[in-house]
Amino acid sequence: PPPFTGVWMGDSKLCAIGVHCGNHITSHGLALNCCTDLSWFEHIVPCGLEGKGVTSLSRELGQHVPVSHVLEPFLDSFQEVFDCTLVSAEDPG
């Protein structure tokens, strides 16, 4: 929920996004919880946000959702939204 970044389901974060800048290098990324073991989050304050939780696609949909089922549709949507072509590091061209 605003003003917090990421993708939320109520008060639980489903996807974290972030940017880091340091030593003249910028890195960015995201973490989409598909079938994550959420018990680890019981030992920390996720993203430093007191009173907020973490969830996953598997928990929200009530069935196991492996990364392999999400990856291709996610990448297709990313290309469409950002009007770009993604290239794998394994592709020679």
CA distance 30 to 61: 20
Closest CA to 18 of 28, 26, 8: 28
CA distance 93 to 76: 19
Catalytic: 35?
no
Selecting among 15, 21, 47, 84, the annotated active-site residue is 47
Residues belonging to the active site = 47
